[in-house]
Structure 1
Amino acid sequence: MKSHDFASLLCSRLCHDLLSPIGALNNGIELLSDEHDPEMRARCLDLLGESARASANKLKFFRLAFGAAGGFADEVDTREARVAIEGLFGGDGRIQLGWMVDEPTMSKSALKVLLNLVLLAGDALVRGGRLDVGAERHDDGLDIVIRAEGGRIVLDPELKKVLLGHTDEESIAPRAAAAWLIHSLVVEGGGEVQVADSEEGVLLFGASLPA
């Protein structure tokens, strides 16, 4: 896939994800301008605050997951990833988060793989549940494991095909931009992506990145 084609997919995905909270901000401002009841104005301000926080949390996450976060340094502090994940998925209590990453830093590409796998797993928890994030470094490289568990898990078959490289590059939809980025980064690094979704209520993603 050409770089400009992937950029278009990514832009479409970002616009889709940001449309809801930013649209809520716009609606809240319009309601506030027409509302004179103090109690309703207070409620409008609460909604505006929630939408603003949601937008900021999404942007912080996308900055790390898709952008050039960390400047020109090769390694990125994994605490930034944890904060971004907690902001995106841990704010409303719908998803419980487990963090099992002892490494203080990761390469930018490894961190992008981890964050994008978390994004796919979190999106699959349509009714909430638990999301565990793990990574372990060893002599041969780095292993990343993301485990999602919930009452209902929905993984788009197209995303699974893209993750595993079983698809035509030219037919990839914007919703699969994160999956394509994971596949590309892992394959370029000589690694492998694994998906296990045969157990009811459990979804496992794995990525092995050679040293």
Structure 2
Amino acid sequence: MTNSDAIDLASMLCSRLCHDMLSPVGALSNGLELLAEEKDPEMRQRCFELLEQSAQISADKLKFFRLAYGAAGGFGDAVDVSEAKAVVGALASDAKRIAVNWALAEERLPKPAVKVLLNFAHMGIDALVRGGTLDIGAEMRDGGAEIVVRAAGPKVAFDETIGAALEGNLSKQQLSSRTAAAHMLCLLADHAGGGLQYQKSDEALVLGAVLPGA
């Protein structure tokens, strides 16, 4: 990756973060304006509830971005899976009508594996536009990590351009805030000597990763 490519990717990831944070932060701003003008006690209580909800969603999204894009879990080489589970659980709760099932063989996973797991989970949640189940599995084998995420539900939605980015078939013109995370995962998997793949039907999306050098 050239310096220019790295800058483009970082810019797109920042754009994605800003896009996803705009709605809950905007709701906080609107709620504060309403609260300043509202005199009715019942309506003021409702404003406080909406502010609390928006603040929680904002915090959940920031926790996700910290682990999925940033220096996950501080300076160690591995991250406690309880952190990843808490973040995914919060995102699924925000999305509503999504049940999350876990099959994790480890208590801690390497940072690259956590990034892949979280981004896969986020893609799965986005795909379940009408709700459904999200099954997440990960284990260490022969010194590497294997991850599988399955999103199942009615009318699963998935942008094939994101799939192309995961498999390393994304053109430079197709890099956008929507495909940047998938492109990042592809680079991460390639650096680890592994690969990513996906399969999609109307009822399910399956995302898989093998990271030998994670």
Pairing partner for 2:171 from 168, 173, 194: 168
Distance in 2 separating the partners of 1:127 and 1:209: 31
The match for 1:207 is 209
Contact 1:90 1:97 in 2 (8 A): no
- The answer to whether structure 1 residue 48 and structure 2 residue 51 are counterparts is yes
Contact 1:190 1:210 in 2 (8 A): yes
Instruction: Call closer, same or farther: CA 1:92–1:154 in 2, change over 3 Å.
Output: closer
- TM-score w.r.t. the length of structure 2 is 0.94
- The answer to whether structure 1 residue 152 and structure 2 residue 155 are counterparts is yes
- The answer to whether structure 1 residue 119 and structure 2 residue 122 are counterparts is yes
Distance in 1 separating the partners of 2:208 and 2:133: 17
Task: Measure how far apart 1:89 and its partner are.
Answer: 1.2
Task: Measure how far apart 1:32 and its partner are.
Answer: 0.6
Contact 1:191 1:207 in 2 (8 A): yes
- The answer to whether structure 1 residue 143 and structure 2 residue 150 are counterparts is no
Contact 2:165 2:182 in 1 (8 A): yes
Runs of 4+ in 1 over 4 A off after TM superposition: none
Contact 1:120 1:178 in 2 (8 A): no
Task: Measure how far apart 1:81 and its partner are.
Answer: 0.5
Pairing partner for 1:186 from 186, 189, 196: 189
How many residue pairs match? The answer is: 210
Instruction: Call closer, same or farther: CA 1:91–1:171 in 2, change over 3 Å.
Output: closer
Q: RMSD between aligned alpha carbons?
A: 1.3
Q: Which runs of 5+ in 1 are unaligned?
A: none
Q: Which runs of 5+ in 2 are unaligned?
A: none
- The answer to whether structure 1 residue 31 and structure 2 residue 17 are counterparts is no
Task: Measure how far apart 1:91 and its partner are.
Answer: 4.5
Distance in 2 separating the partners of 1:177 and 1:189: 18
Q: Tell me the percent identity.
A: 50
AA aligned to 2:18 is C
The match for 1:133 is 136
AA aligned to 2:26 is G
The match for 2:82 is 79
The match for 1:197 is 200
Find the residue that maps to 2:35 and give its secondary structure.
helix
Task: Measure how far apart 1:156 and its partner are.
Answer: 0.7
Distance in 1 separating the partners of 2:169 and 2:96: 35
AA aligned to 2:16 is R
